[in-house]
Amino acid sequence: MPDTSVSDTQQALSRVDVSPAAAAFLVELTKQHGPLMFHQSGGCCDGSSPMCYPVGFFRIGAVDVHLGDLHIDGIDPIEVYMSRSQFEYWKYTHLTIDVVAGRGAGFSVESPEGKRFLIRSRMLDDAERKAFDLI
C-alpha cells in the first residue's frame, strides 16, 4: 500500500467530518456490512457522491489520496479517499459527509435503505490552509 496520506500533522485539524445523522447511519450500516470506507466519486450521474463500500470491496490505488478518517463511537475509523487528480481541485475545501433521503448511488451500500450520502463542503479557513501547506 503506497503512502497516500495528505498530512500526518495536525491531527486536531481534519479535511473530513461526518454529520450526526450520517454517523448514526454508518453505525447501522457497519452492523450489516462490516467495516466501511468511502471513496469520493467524480463525473456524471451519481458523480460527486461519496461512495461507501465494505473495506476491501474497492481497491484503493496509488492514484488515491487518503483525506482522513471519520471517528465514530462504537465502530472502527472510516477511511475517506479521493483520486489525486480530483483532489487537486478539491483541496481547498473541507468535506462533511451527510445523509439525505434518496435513491441509488452506484454500488454504494446505503441506497437500499432509501438514503444517500451527500457531501457538504466549506472552504478551509486560514488555520487549516496553513496546516495543510496551502498558504
Partner 1 sequence: MTVTTPPSTFANPGSPDAKVQFKPRYDHFIGGEYVAPSSGKYFENPSPVNGKVFTEVARGNAADVDRAVEAAWRAFDSWKKTTITQRAIILNKIADRMEQNLEMLAVAETWDNGKPIREALAADVPLAIDHFRYFAGAIRAQEGSTGEIDNDTVAYHFHEPLGVVGQIIPWNFPLLMAVWKLAPALAAGNCVVLKPAEQTPASIHVFMELIQDLLPAGVLNIVNGFGVEAGAPLASHPNIRKIAFTGETTTGRLIMQMASENLIPVTLELGGKSPNVFFADVADERDDFYDKALEGFSFFNLNSGEVCTCPSRALVQQSIYDQFTADGVERVKQVKQGNPLSLDTMIGAQASNDQLEKILSYMDIGKQEGAKLLLGGDRADLGGDLTDGYYVNPTIFEGRNSMRIFQEEIFGPVLSLTSFSDYDEAIKIANDTLYGLGAGVWSRNGAQLYKAGRDIQAGRVWSNTYHQYPAGAAFGGYKQSGIGRENHKMMLDHYQQTKNLLVSYADGPMGFF
Give exposure, 42-51, as e/b (b: 16+ Cβ within 10 Å). Answer: eeeebeebbb
Q: Minimum distance from CB of 33 to partner 1 (Å)?
A: 9
| CA pair distance 6, 68, nearest whole angstrom | 8
Residue in this structure with the C-alpha cell 486536531, named with its chain if needed: 12
Q: Minimum distance from CB of 26 to partner 1 (Å)?
A: 15
Q: Are 25 and 111 in contact (CB under 8 A)?
A: no
> Between residues 9 and 127, which has the closer beta carbon with respect to partner 1?
127
Query: Reduced to 3 states, what is the DSSP secondary structure of residue 112?
Result: helix
Chain residues that interact with partner 1, rule: CB under 8 A: 39-49, 51, 53, 57-59, 83, 85-86, 89-90, 93, 100-109, 111-112, 116, 118-123
Q: Minimum distance from CB of 103 to partner 1 (Å)?
A: 5
